[in-house]
Amino acid sequence: MDQITFTAARKFADIPSGRIAYVEQGAGPAAIFIHGVIVNGWLWRKQLEELSDLRRCIAIDLMGHGWTEIASGQDVTFDGQAQMLVEFLDALGIDKADFVANDSGTGVAQVFAAKHPDRVRTLVLTNGDVHDNWPPKDFSGFLDMVAAGGLPETLQRMLDDKDFYRGPDAMAGAYEHPEHVSDETIETYIRPHVASPERTDKLARFILGFDNAQTVRVEDLLKQVKAPTLAAWGTDDIFFPVDAAHWLQKTLSGPVTIEEFPDGRMFFPEERAEALNAKIRTHWITYSQ
């Protein structure tokens, strides 16, 4: 799916939390794909293409990201994002769904599953926020920059100099092969954030709201989550080590399968989509309900 097709397919759900942008493909039981910080639903384009024969695949833009529109005071914490998902499912008439998540989306998915286990058919959690292992230590410089008010300038530089986005002072650490990230992908991820000062500010609020108390306080509820879970983890992630996958396996009460992707980094769902999609397909078929 190219960017033009993806954009043309964008829809919006008007709910109390805001006007939530999403792209869907396929039919059947719903699967919700949740991205992380800086990026948007475009991260999951290859999953929508390759898995739509099994599911109604829906990639949303989180609040503060992409083309989702929210009020200036809207809660964009993980708790707020989980509540948004409840409203989103209700608006689309979806009772229960499979959830696939990455980065911050992995934290959001855990909060949602802990609070609404009856609405989760299965989970696929990839490299991202787990329990107290976030915000990651190696992300502290980025957090300091945002706190100092440097986000607008940094985002604009990512657009003006795509190699800066791919470089060590920006997003290189999230990719196994940052040199392969296309200009189109960088534009798709970053352009919405600079569409207005208000959009940039909402992203900044999301980033500055990083607080692992949100995931730590649902630990006891997570222990009761029975949804079959695939913890698919890139092993070379400088932010989220594979230990997090093993914590999930020890904590969740349902069956948890760990699949390691050697040398994979945080955004391996995009870089190594074919391999991940094969694992998701097996997971869904194994636990079809």
Domain range list for the chain: 3-133+212-286
Q: CB neighbours (10 Å) of residue 144? A: 10
CB 139 within 8 A of CB 116: no
Per-residue pLDDT at 3: 86
Of the chain, the percentage scoring pLDDT greater than 90 comes to 96
Mean per-residue pLDDT of the chain: 97
Question: What is the band of 289 on the pLDDT scale with cuts at 50, 70, 90?
Answer: low
For Cα atoms 244, 248, 251, give the angle at the middle one, nearest 5 degrees. Answer: 135
Mean pLDDT over 142-149 rounds to: 95
Q: How far is CA 61 from the centre of its chain?
A: 9
- Residues 6 or more apart whose CB falls under 8 angstroms from that of 4 comprise none
pLDDT tens-digit series, residues 3-56: 889 999 999 999 999 999 999 999 999 999 999 999 999 999 999 999 999 999
CB-count exposure of residue 246 (10 Å: 0-12, 13-18, 19+): middle
Report the CATH fold assignment for 3-133+212-286.
Answer: Rossmann fold (3.40.50)
Cα torsion 235, 34, 125, 248: sign: positive
CA–CA separation, 60 and 21 (whole Å): 6
Per-residue pLDDT at 163: 98
3-state secondary structure of 70: coil
Mean pLDDT over 90-113 rounds to: 98
- Residues 6 or more apart whose CB falls under 8 angstroms from that of 272 comprise 176, 261, 264
Which pair of tokens denotes residue 140? Answer: 């502290």
Per-residue pLDDT at 135: 94
pLDDT tens-digit series, residues 165-184: 999 999 999 999 999 999 99
pLDDT at 139 over 90: no
CA–CA separation, 105 and 267 (whole Å): 12
Which pair of tokens denotes residue 132? Answer: 């107290």
Q: CB neighbours (10 Å) of residue 42? A: 23
One-letter amino acid for residue 13 of the chain: A
Mean pLDDT over 210-231 rounds to: 97
CA–CA separation, 72 and 132 (whole Å): 28
Per-residue pLDDT at 234: 98
